[in-house]
Structure 1
Amino acid sequence: MFLAAVLFVGTAQAQSTPVDNSQAPAATSSATNDPAAAIDAAVPTPAPPDPNNAVVQYALSSQCSVPSKEIASPAPLSAMVSKLEAGKGLRILAIGSSSTWGIGASTRQKNYPSQLETMLEKSMRGVDIEVVNRGVSGETSETTADRLKTEAVLIKPDVVLWQLGTNDAIQHVPVDTFELNVRKTIKALRRKGIDVVLVGLQYTPNYSRDTHYFAIRDALNRIAADLNVLYVKRYSAMEFIARTKANMKMLADDGFHLNDMGYQCMAEHIANAVTANLFVRRRKPAS
């Protein structure tokens, strides 16, 4: 069935979010080093859409609009594309710490995995999508990696969305230990035919000058570049919103976890990054 399989990047056909129906196209940059240029170059010329079955890039709402270079570093999603081409549904495992579980959200339906499932279903019409939430508050990447050994077997996901780094930075996990552990886990998941999407650190003014926070963020940049992994740069996207939309509150009352709007933007950025990268073709990932 694959979807007349069309990816319309930033067109008016993009779907509305479950919270805000006034969509604005995703912002782009004309800079030559903008990762969006790599995406645009890899996207085939769109064919006429099948009204019953088409894939569109998720368009960001006006509240969550961020330049594409601040959202993600592009990389292919081979397992996901194979499932879509075979006309099958997608099972996505969202794993990580409190930002995955949804601490700070008013209800379970407002956490990012719940909102993401709805967004992806609207961007991939006719595709059955299940997002399984396996977030555990306070967890570091080492503990998550251990859980992934079991969760990957039990859930059999096509894609793992691994939200990580914040607790490692706060708990001052050594950068080398963090990096080695994440690399090994990504490679193990890929050997099982599972796509991996890294979802990076949370932005909060409380850690805007913390050197270890930035060291962990830099490690994620290296890992994504070396292993050709799709990396959602959550810190950069949230910092952009905080800088340009000062009146928009994205954090809960504790000043650290996200509120409902913060989780909406987190889900939108992941949905935008995933749908934009469905047709990216780049070098073969490291095994």
Structure 2
Amino acid sequence: MNRSRAISAAFMARALPAVFSLLLAAGPSPAMADMSRACHVPDALLVFDARLTRISRLVDHSQPVRILRIRAFQDGPEAKTLNSELAHRLPDVRFTIIEEYPQPGDAEDDFAQIRTAIDETDPDLVIWQLGTGDALASTDLDSFSQTLGHAADWIERRDVDLVLVDPPFVPNVAHERLYRRISAWIDAISRRERMNVVNQYDATHYLLSKRTAATPTTSPSALPSPAPARPHCMTELMAEAIVRAATR
């Protein structure tokens, strides 16, 4: 499968605001019994483009699942929290989560370390948080697309499922537009090639917008702080999306 074709940056510049407007209009999904109320998001942010075939086989037979999680930095949800969220949804399955923190770099650097980590840990699923280094370095988007395609093909040939996680929405910082650019590119590639992505950028943007749109009678000091809430919500969203894809 060749995933290295170029995508129009001009198209994504037009598409991203339109997509987010649709998410805001859609509102949260009514069927989120396992989600904290504060973390409810539109259903579109919980649906992957493809099934997690290897995880599905294991879950169908209540077999253990090994997850290799490639993280950009050491904040956000901890492995034991993600494990708890997965176990809550699939109590008959034992999850083992191995976390790796690659040296700061771009997607190509990450991929080199992912190959070694997969050989060492033999995972069933790789969760790859990517794009932060490429965004800050303003990596050429065609080069980024080719690296992502090669990595996805390499992982697929080893019968390992892959879930990508794009950068978060970080308001009021100079590099936010860089995160927006790389997140749009990841989304465009994933939709075209049916790659599974946890849309952290759109989810954090939506949750922050929902909080700031609180009723005028609510004191700003009474609103939940975006930073502490984000890791907790992203753990729930990640677990929910993975379980939906593995059991559909």
Q: C-alpha separation between the residues in 2 aligned to 1:126 and 1:159?
A: 18
* Greater relative contact order (CA < 8 Å, ≥ 6 in sequence): 2
- Point out 4+ residue stretches in structure 1 off by more than 6 angstroms: none
**Deviation for aligned residue 1:124:** 0.7
2:239 aligns to what? Answer: 271
TM-score, with length taken from structure 1: 0.68
Question: Counterpart amino acid of 1:90?
Answer: V
Question: Counterpart amino acid of 2:237?
Answer: H
Confirm or deny: 8 A CA contact 2:168 2:179 kept in the other structure: no
Confirm or deny: 8 A CA contact 1:93 1:155 kept in the other structure: yes
Where does 1:120-269 land on structure 2 (aligned, <5 Å)? 120-136=86-102, 138-206=104-172, 211-246=177-212, 247-251=223-227, 259=228, 261-269=229-237
Q: C-alpha separation between the residues in 2 aligned to 1:58 and 1:161?
A: 24
Where does 1:36-47 land on structure 2 (aligned, <5 Å)? none
Which is further off, 72-81 or 121-130?
72-81
Where does 1:107-126 land on structure 2 (aligned, <5 Å)? 111-126=77-92
2:29 aligns to what? Answer: 28
Which is further off, 68-77 or 189-198?
68-77
Question: Unaligned 5+ residue runs, structure 1?
Answer: 1-25, 30-35, 37-56, 106-110, 252-258, 281-287
Question: Counterpart amino acid of 1:144?
Answer: D
Confirm or deny: 8 A CA contact 2:136 2:175 kept in the other structure: no
Q: C-alpha separation between the residues in 1 aligned to 2:45 and 2:155?
A: 26
Confirm or deny: 8 A CA contact 2:50 2:194 kept in the other structure: yes
The DSSP-based 3-state class of the residue aligned with 1:162 is strand
Distance 1:134 1:114, change over 3 A: same
Percent identity, please: 22
Distance 1:206 1:196, change over 3 A: same
Superposed CA offset, 1:54-75 (max 9, x none): xxx8721012111122345432
Q: C-alpha separation between the residues in 1 aligned to 2:193 and 2:78?
A: 25
Q: Judging by fraction of residues, say which structure has more helix.
A: 2
Q: 1:91 aligns with which of 43, 47, 66?
A: 66
The DSSP-based 3-state class of the residue aligned with 1:264 is helix
TM-align CA RMSD: 2.3
Aligned length: 212
**Deviation for aligned residue 1:209:** 7.8
Q: C-alpha separation between the residues in 2 aligned to 1:61 and 1:198?
A: 23
TM-score, with length taken from structure 2: 0.78
Distance 1:174 1:72, change over 3 A: farther
2:56 corresponds to 1:81: yes
**Deviation for aligned residue 1:139:** 3.6
Distance 1:268 1:159, change over 3 A: same
Q: C-alpha separation between the residues in 2 aligned to 1:69 and 1:133?
A: 27
Confirm or deny: 8 A CA contact 1:140 1:167 kept in the other structure: yes
Q: C-alpha separation between the residues in 2 aligned to 1:276 and 1:208?
A: 35
